[in-house]
Structure 1
């Protein structure tokens, strides 16, 4: 079995803060008894990728400007299946997967998952940015494709804006039903990943013996877990602890997204315990932080000062310090220091906001009418932030 250098499961301190039991940290309490040696079974997925998307990407992006290729892809998908006889077999199979809802998908459960995301308001976006994205930089290997696609040169603003776009579309009520915006967001992201992988592997500098293949299936699973179980863990730290049903629902939502993104169904978890175990096996076998990790983290830290939707320097300073406060509360001191991020007393501002979050969390759980009202208000607050990032793009 090929084992890339990034795989280092012995005495590993990577992602330590994720697994330290605290009052609000959900992950350690979900984690069943797990032997890190179980991760060996997943190592082959470092060398496996979304072959179907790659085949379609070659078809659409070869000798065609990127934006034109995406436009044609969307047009062909919108006409499917009436245009079936004009499409390649690979494209037909991809479109079929995105059009056909599997029997195991429960849209009531999917929509409850989106409602939980909605009811947490802008705290959800803060967790995505300051825990899921920033925390992901603790693995140097998973982020190597960002370096090879020159994400540092394109800027953290664009990457963050693209992530918010994707998340907002897939967390819209009914957004993942056939032909809705969430499905188009998945199609676009899946093909961009495939196109990026093809371009990266053309470069001799990519070293699969160190990192595996770019955007491989195990890293895709880890990213999906970042949006699901790590996201829930972050919101729990901000006093939005999910009910058992909400936890099940968010995992079901991202199981469906993961399936649509090309992750093998048998890898995607159904329960909190399964999700925690999967995240543990990946996170605790990572090589850890390197110089590229720190550069990516610093670019994200610096992002509020680079946005163009406001020229207000005080506002930019306040947002940057607030993000640092979230980094301290969510990632913990050890991880923040490892990523070379500065300390800020803004963590006390976040701890104050947690008291407000706890009030709305309790209120939402007290009454279905309150729940729906708070979810709608939270979604509107998210949309305001989303519009700002769309302007930034």
Structure 2
């Protein structure tokens, strides 16, 4: 997770950033290209796992299937909106509809069949709940991945100080546990945390910053610029531009750099 995993997270951040930039999903836009790139990566992963003895096709079916991609899309779109609002974000109906439309088109480019491609926010939430009912309880691999993602968060934003990294990871555990609930946090073997009041306090902080932004517009503009710069720093930008390289091994630690 330290090397390949952090890079994958930064690539995901770059994709989400680019599809929402003006012109990002135009034919020559980087959001368009990165969405198609994800489709190619998924196809290569399916090919590699099809040749791997470690993948139990009878038990697990097709790896990175269209159904799982469609389910993931509902999480990145409607569920992301839902959790963002729980954290204090505000969106107009038009903004929410636009957010979903962008993800729908990106999902189409990623190869999700139109028959299972989300239509809007309500439809995406239904798809997510259906997928949740079909999924088995988190296994060991899910536990390892979830905890690795939390602990990789400080590395993604370039935090190198060990004490600050531990503090940030602990904070992410707190907020994540409050969002996903005690049962899921327990299934993923998160460290036990008291989640009472975590979300209200987070929302209070967001409201305070929003109020300060209204009272001090220049400060708000500076904060927005800083947030955007931070997002760029947590995204993968390579000197060669967008690379269409794909993994060449089923196991990430054995694969060439891509």
Which bin holds the TM-score, normalised by the shorter protein? 0.7 to 0.9
Could you tell me which of 372, 377, 381 is aligned with 2:227? Answer: 381
Q: Residue 161 of structure 1 aligns with which residue?
A: 10
Alpha-carbon deviation of 1:379? 6.6
1:211 aligns with 2:57: no
Could you tell me which of 4, 21, 30 is aligned with 1:181? Answer: 30
Q: Residue 72 of structure 2 aligns with which residue?
A: 223
Alpha-carbon deviation of 1:269? 2.5
Alpha-carbon deviation of 1:176? 0.9
TM value normalised by structure 2: 0.78
C-alpha distance after superposition, 1:37-83 (max 9, x if no partner): xxxxxxxxxxxxxxxxxxxxxxxxxxxxxxxxxxxxxxxxxxxxxxx
Structure 2 unaligned blocks of 5 or more:
238-256
Structure 1 unaligned blocks of 5 or more:
1-151
Q: Return the index of the structure with the highest Cα Rg.
A: 1
8 Å contact kept, 2:19–2:25: yes
Matches within 5 A, 1:127-206: 156-206=5-55
SS at match of 1:284: helix
Aligned pairs, number: 236
CA distance in 2, matches of 1:347, 1:299: 24
8 Å contact kept, 2:7–2:236: no
> For the structure 1 residues 262 and 282, does the alpha-carbon distance in structure 2 shift closer, same or farther, using more than 3 Å as the test?
same
TM value normalised by structure 1: 0.53
CA distance in 2, matches of 1:227, 1:255: 11
CA distance in 2, matches of 1:157, 1:246: 30
Between the two structures, name the one with larger relative contact order (CA 8 Å, sep ≥ 6): 1
1:313 aligns with 2:162: yes
> For the structure 1 residues 194 and 337, does the alpha-carbon distance in structure 2 shift closer, same or farther, using more than 3 Å as the test?
same
Q: CA RMSD in A?
A: 3.2
Could you tell me which of 196, 201, 208 is aligned with 1:352? Answer: 201
Q: Residue 262 of structure 1 aligns with which residue?
A: 111
CA distance in 2, matches of 1:376, 1:328: 31
8 Å contact kept, 2:154–2:160: no
> For the structure 1 residues 216 and 166, does the alpha-carbon distance in structure 2 shift closer, same or farther, using more than 3 Å as the test?
same
C-alpha distance after superposition, 1:352-384 (max 9, x if no partner): 2311324567899x9xxx9xx979964751431
Q: Residue 115 of structure 1 aligns with which residue?
A: none
Alpha-carbon deviation of 1:316? 1.1
